[in-house]
């Protein structure tokens, strides 16, 4: 467990897409360009190996390659967080070791999955991970993937004890997010450095208006300038301009639906659209996603291009 | 993809528990004793790295150690299947490589999980795995863990094309199992070697009466003689004796509930009880389960002992 | 709560389809013919207003008409159970009043639904209903519709106190059914009259071999002679003949899939196929199902006819 | 289907609690006081027989009594909407008839539940209801109760055809709400009168900032002045003051947890706390909730009182 004094992590911290080559290796030059693209747009940190990074699809060698590439290319310009995504504690701990070895500044872990897990076991899981980790541990609340939600009282208890440095809330439950924020503020100094980041890229202005510290927007790969600008407008409390910018991004988010639900899953469509957009914008060389995902076809890609044009990005 | 002519896998193929040392390493001598205990009881195969093996809790190094130990100790006495359990295709493929390298006779894979996956992606997943595997691939239908079920028509389509060698049905849907068995028989020669194994250890007599080829009983770790005897009675169509033996095993199965649901999850209780029983029976040295699972306490272990006595096993 | 001494309810108790006219009224003559058809085939009771009866689709006036028609036509030849299906306690209690007034011999109620309900509230629910009911109350375990399952320990506790007369188990969990049966037998005289009926029409031979008292088969509308014959074979322990007959019925059950899943839900397809079969067999006048269900088209109906022919019923 | 020209429904429209007497009848004087309390606080409409009204717990006679009481007492001061909550189409249609007969200004219906329903059947359901209804029909998106969500494209299609007058969005999906609002605005005049109301009482400022027309806050029973004030602040775009007021209400919302989850369900705790608060504030005579809900005890009620004091309401 780290003993370093922390300041709360804030701002725009996109989950970095993982460019692949057609033969399914990490496309290192594309990943380096993406890192630069994001940092040049003013992001405040990088979250590598998150769900949007296709972490669930990447073997460990690929994951290590991603960590090394991103840390090296970032070169300390912004903090780098790493998803340590696996089924249970000992497996997650090994990913944490890899992230620490690669030089990441923090790690992000979900509740256990595949195994059915009791709340007391979830709490034990995070305690064990923090014990093992040389960098701060952030909890990742992602019920859509892990089929259990993180309890707010548990989060704040672990925050107060220094076990958790923050949470990435992808629960989609904005009321719950707000209750967590108020409970944190009520809990005082002991949890004052606990970061609350939202993964909901369509309601960033709302989340920041409520007091969230930052945002981890998948769509931030495609339009990082949009999200850094939006964050600034919110900090300036220019809510009308923030709303307009957020609405432009909501319209752009329609790209995630280009694949429909008949011939592929929502994941294939969403991750495929992000990569298609990055390819169309010239940031990455190949819009390839990992198997068993279905690739977007020409018509679907053309629809992504139309939406990029509509958002002023092509 | 293998081109070897196969015969259908049949009989009792227990998912082998993974004994751990108190410092959470693989307890090799205990695992070797367990392998002998099971083979000496007359089992027809071993399924290593299944859910009952705590596969979700074991890092890759632990998994490899298990595979090497089991294959070496088995020494060809029975076939060894290996669970290749991970989130998506490329990760599963690496586990398959490890299993093949270790000398396993077949591999067992679920639908993708964590990632939300469409039926066409599940089918692609199995095709990709079979393409990659040098040994037969069995599908593992486990909706309670992966949150999607395998479609019978897809299974038989993949069977007919030689992609899948069988299915371990842990869906708990006995009506669906029966429809699959009849559909297989109706489909004729092309799928005649497709094994249908049930993971439902409480209805083995029913499943065999319906025509299932075998059973993968977690409780078979604790009482392998019970399951091999039950299988023989069913093959002899001595249904009254089979029912009596199955009912003895159902009563023994009460061990899975000793931990209750208040202070631990069902998984901790069930896996803990299997290991406690193996420890009490002198097969393994430590009843330890992997984190974040909760360990059984003395009273809970005493209850396991009582139930073992009731079943004539202590 | 009834104080009458009971004997355990046993045998084949089909959930009676509810024939409708094209203008969505109860088709009384068709319903009378169906009642005769079932009783003439030797069924041991009738379960009216169950899920297969489209109870969820029928307004209260329709429900009362069904109860009156079935009770009058049955004229005491077999017991008549009535589903009292509604969201919570007071609403269910009114359906119980209607059933008692109509002269039914027992009522069947699920756990609450729509409202999210705690196990202690489910138990209170059944206690309240039994207090109110002048006839025996049976619990209906139907997690697919009500999204919570009934706990076996609770069922037996309520059985011992005379609150519940039995359970219709449509959980699809045959292992759980077996554990319940053994727990009932272990609990002795206090629960000896507690009936355990399975709603799983594809595994009747299995359930009866395990000790279940009877079966509530939706498909029994279409082929009641099949189910009464199957029950007799099981009671005679002619398991080979029982299996053959059950397998014929499993093949016939393919009618539930004729509508597919693209243009309608599984419910529309299944209930539509039962009514189409009854229409084709000349028992009811119209194959109409209630809105918002989709009606089977000519090709789908032709497929039902083919399957009826295959089962020797046309 | 109504042909009246409509204006979009807007503002604060609380789901009115249903006061009961200790013998579980409608407490008419208390309900009349509650209606006055809400209207005097400046609400823009009343939503009677919603989930917060315990509609799932009320027999039809109780429901009719509620409708008559509320319509009579309201006497046209604000529009009255009525929940027509039941499993499927014909049953819902009868509740609509009751609501129309009682003089309500609109009805609110969910997707079918208990029955498993396909999207095309959900659409048919709403079309059938609108055909039957003499007043505007609002869709109620409540996946937590009905286990299916309403598709935005379907909502707008039905809006454009005059089938639906609006939606009460209790999906908890604020990103989806925003996408719906932008899609509505993009669709132009045909859907311009389609009201989008949020049921999320903790993020009213966010929802109104996004363009939602109004809010249906359960907590608005307890503090209607809070919600009407909050609505006004949002309309005036005084976001800082709105946030402060919303946060006061979020803190007050802690009353829903006073019962915990050990001895009762969340519903019992939440509805019990609203009624306890109304009782403590002198609006209703009895804090009774309908069976099988568990009643709050003295300590839990004291905690409600403390939270009311904290919010300046006692």
pLDDT tens-place string over residues A135-186: 999 999 999 999 999 999 999 999 999 999 999 999 999 999 999 999 999 9
Q: Cβ separation of B251 and C205 shorter than 8 Å?
A: no
Task: Considering the candidates B57, B101, B114, B140, report the single residue annotated as catalytic.
Answer: B140
Q: Mean pLDDT throughout D234-249?
A: 98
Which H or E run contains A266? helix A266-280
Which H or E run contains A64? helix A60-74
Task: Considering the candidates C138, C168, C227, C275, report the single residue annotated as catalytic.
Answer: C168
What ipTM describes this predicted complex?
A: 0.96
Q: Cβ separation of C206 and B201 shorter than 8 Å?
A: no
DSSP string, B178-216: HHHHHHHHHHGGGGTT-EEEE--TT-HHHHHHHT--EE-
pLDDT in tens, C234-287: 999 999 999 999 999 999 999 999 999 999 999 999 999 999 999 999 999 999
pLDDT in tens, D130-180: 999 999 999 999 999 999 999 999 999 999 999 999 999 999 999 999 999
Active-site annotation holds for D168: yes
The pLDDT, as a whole number, for residue C7 is 80
Long-range contact set of residues A258-265: C-beta below 8 Å, sequence gap at least 24: A258/A296, A258/A300, A258/A301, A258/A303, A258/A304, A258/A307, A259/A294, A259/A296, A259/A300, A261/B118, A263/A294, A263/B120, A264/A293, A264/A294, A264/B118, A264/B120, A264/B121, A265/A293, A265/A294, A265/B116, A265/B117, A265/B118, A265/B121
The pLDDT, as a whole number, for residue D6 is 62
User: Which residues from D are below 8 Å from A203, CB to CB?
Assistant: 174-175, 178, 206, 210
Instruction: List the single residue in A with minimal CA-CA distance to B117.
Output: A265
User: Which residues from A are below 8 Å from D205, CB to CB?
Assistant: 209
The pLDDT, as a whole number, for residue B1 is 38
Is A216 annotated to bind a ligand? Reply is: yes
Dist. CA C84–CA C67, nearest whole Å: 11
Q: Cβ separation of B267 and A144 shorter than 8 Å?
A: no
Q: Given the DSSP bridges, would you call strands D166-169 and A11-12 parallel, antiparallel or unpaired?
A: unpaired
Among partner residues B173, B209, B237, which is closest to C206 by beta-carbon distance? B209
Q: Mean pLDDT throughout A234-252?
A: 98
Instruction: List the single residue in A with minimal CA-CA distance to B60.
Output: A91
pLDDT in tens, A263-312: 999 999 999 999 999 999 999 999 999 999 999 999 999 999 999 999 99
Nearest to C35 by CA among C45, C25, C26: C45
Q: Cβ separation of C243 and B174 shorter than 8 Å?
A: no
Dist. CA C95–CA C292, nearest whole Å: 23
Chains B, C: CB contacts under 8 A, how many? 69
Q: Cβ separation of B116 and A267 shorter than 8 Å?
A: yes
Nearest to A259 by CA among A273, A276, A240: A273
Dist. CA A197–CA A187, nearest whole Å: 18
On whether any CB of chain D is under 8 Å from the CB of C113, the answer is: yes
Q: Cβ separation of A174 and D206 shorter than 8 Å?
A: yes
Q: Cβ separation of C250 and B179 shorter than 8 Å?
A: yes
On whether any CB of chain C is under 8 Å from the CB of D293, the answer is: yes
Q: Cβ separation of B57 and A261 shorter than 8 Å?
A: no
On whether any CB of chain D is under 8 Å from the CB of A266, the answer is: no
Q: Is A309 exposed, middle or buried (0-12, 13-18, 19+ CB in 10 A)?
A: exposed
- Give the closest-approach CA distance of A172 to chain D in angstroms: 6
Instruction: List the single residue in D with minimal CA-CA distance to A244.
Output: D210
Identify from D173, D175, D200 which residue to disrupt to test chain A contact, counting A C-beta atoms within 10 A and taking the largest count.
Answer: D175
Q: Are D92 and C114 in contact (CB under 8 A)?
A: no
Q: What sign results for the dihedral spanned by CA atoms C216, C217, C222, C224?
A: negative
On whether any CB of chain C is under 8 Å from the CB of D122, the answer is: yes
Please, what is the Cα angle at C116 between C110 and C122, to 5 degrees?
40
Instruction: List the single residue in B with minimal CA-CA distance to A24.
Output: B90
Q: Mean pLDDT throughout C22-50?
A: 98
Task: Considering the candidates B57, B101, B138, B168, report the single residue annotated as catalytic.
Answer: B168
On whether any CB of chain D is under 8 Å from the CB of A151, the answer is: no
- Give the closest-approach CA distance of C130 to chain D in angstroms: 13
pLDDT in tens, A62-110: 999 999 999 999 999 999 999 999 999 999 999 999 999 999 999 999 9
Q: Cβ separation of C175 and B201 shorter than 8 Å?
A: yes
Retrieve residue C272's tokens. Answer: 């539509």
Among partner residues D178, D237, D250, which is closest to A202 by beta-carbon distance? D178
- Residue B206 has φ and ψ, to the nearest 5°, of -60, -50
The pLDDT, as a whole number, for residue D1 is 38
User: Which residues from A are below 8 Å from D175, CB to CB?
Assistant: 172, 200-203, 250
Q: Cβ separation of D182 and A247 shorter than 8 Å?
A: yes
Dist. CA B66–CA B57, nearest whole Å: 13
Q: Above 50 in pLDDT, residue C161? A: yes
Q: Cβ separation of C115 and D91 shorter than 8 Å?
A: no
Question: What residues of B are designated binding site for pyruvate?
Answer: 52, 216
**CA trace torsion D14, D20, D25, D31 (10° rounding):** -50
Q: Given the DSSP bridges, would you call strands C11-12 and B46-48 parallel, antiparallel or unpaired?
A: unpaired
Q: How far is CA B8 from CA B170, B196, C173, C177, C247, in A?
A: 19, 9, 27, 30, 22
The pLDDT, as a whole number, for residue A6 is 62
User: Which residues from A are below 8 Å from B121, CB to CB?
Assistant: 264-265, 268, 292-294
Dist. CA B5–CA B165, nearest whole Å: 11
Chains C, D: CB contacts under 8 A, how many? 138
What are the residues facing D108 on neighbouring strands?
Answer: D83, D138
CATH of C11-238, one of 3.30.70.141, 3.65.10.10, 3.20.20.70, 2.40.50.140: 3.20.20.70
DSSP string, chain C: ---S------EE--B----B-TTSSB-HHHHHHHHHHHHHTT-S-EEESSGGGTGGG--HHHHHHHHHHHHHHHTTSS-EEEE---SSHHHHHHHHHHHHHHT-SEEEEE---SS---HHHHHHHHHHHHHH-SS-EEEEE-HHHHS----HHHHHHHHHTTS-SEEEE-S-BHHHHHHHHHHHHHHGGGGTT-EEEE--TT-HHHHHHHT--EE--GGGGT-HHHHHHHHHHHHTT-HHHHHHHHHHHHHHGGGGGTTTTTSS-HHHHHHHHHHHHHHHTTS-S-----TTSPPP-HHHHHHHHHHHHHTT--
What are chain B's partners, defined as 3 or more CB pairs within 8 angstroms? A, C
Instruction: List the single residue in D with minimal CA-CA distance to C145.
Output: D114
Nearest to C80 by CA among C112, C52, C39, C117: C39
Is D216 annotated to bind a ligand? Reply is: yes
Q: Cβ separation of D144 and C116 shorter than 8 Å?
A: yes
Q: What percent of chain C has pLDDT over 90?
A: 97
pLDDT in tens, D60-118: 999 999 999 999 999 999 999 999 999 999 999 999 999 999 999 999 999 999 998 99
On whether any CB of chain D is under 8 Å from the CB of A261, the answer is: no
Retrieve residue B79's tokens. Answer: 């076939």
Task: Considering the candidates A57, A114, A138, A140, report the single residue annotated as catalytic.
Answer: A140
User: Which residues from C are below 8 Å from D85, CB to CB?
Assistant: 114
List chain B residues with pLDDT less than 70: 1-6
Q: Which of residues 187-226 of A touch B (CB under 8 A)?
A: none
The pLDDT, as a whole number, for residue D3 is 41
Active-site annotation holds for B275: no
The overall pTM is greater than 0.90: yes
The two counts, helices (H) then strands (E), for chain A are: 12, 8
């Amino acid at each position: 467990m780290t003993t370093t004094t922390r300041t709360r992590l804030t701002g725009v911290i996109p989950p970095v897409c993982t460019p692949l080559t057609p033969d399914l290796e990490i496309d290192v030059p594309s990943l380096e360009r993406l890192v630069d693209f994001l940092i040049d747009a003013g992001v405040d940190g990088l979250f590598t190996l998150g769900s949007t990074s296709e972490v669930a699809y990447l073997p460990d060698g690929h994951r290590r390659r991603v960590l090394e590439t991103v840390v090296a290319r970032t070169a300390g310009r912004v903090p780098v967080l790493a998803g340590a995504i696996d089924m249970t504690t000992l497996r997650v701990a090994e990913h944490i070791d890899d992230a620490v070895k690669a030089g990441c500044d923090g790690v992000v872990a979900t509740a256990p999955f595949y195994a059915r897990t009791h709340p007391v076991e979830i709490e034990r899981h995070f305690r064990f991970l923090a014990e093992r980790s040389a960098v701060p541990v952030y909890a990742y609340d992602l019920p859509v993937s892990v089929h259990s939600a993180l309890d707010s009282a548990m989060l704040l208890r672990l925050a107060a004890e220094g076990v958790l440095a923050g949470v990435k809330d992808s629960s989609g439950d904005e009321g719950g997010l707000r209750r967590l924020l108020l409970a944190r503020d009520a809990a005082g100094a002991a949890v004052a450095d606990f970061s609350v980041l939202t993964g909901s890229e369509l309601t960033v202005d709302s989340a920041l208006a409520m007091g969230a510290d930052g945002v981890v927007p998948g769509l931030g790969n495609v339009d990082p300038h949009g999200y850094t600008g939006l964050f600034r407008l919110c900090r300036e409390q220019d809510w009308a301009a923030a709303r307009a910018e957020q609405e432009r991004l909501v319209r752009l988010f329609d790209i995630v639906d280009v694949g429909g639900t008949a011939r592929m899953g929502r994941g294939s469509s969403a991750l495929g659209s992000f990569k298609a957009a990055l390819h169309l914008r010239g940031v990455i060389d190949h819009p390839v996603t990992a198997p068993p995902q279905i690739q977007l076809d020409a018509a679907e890609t053309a629809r992504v291009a139309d939406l990029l044009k509509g958002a002023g990005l092509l």
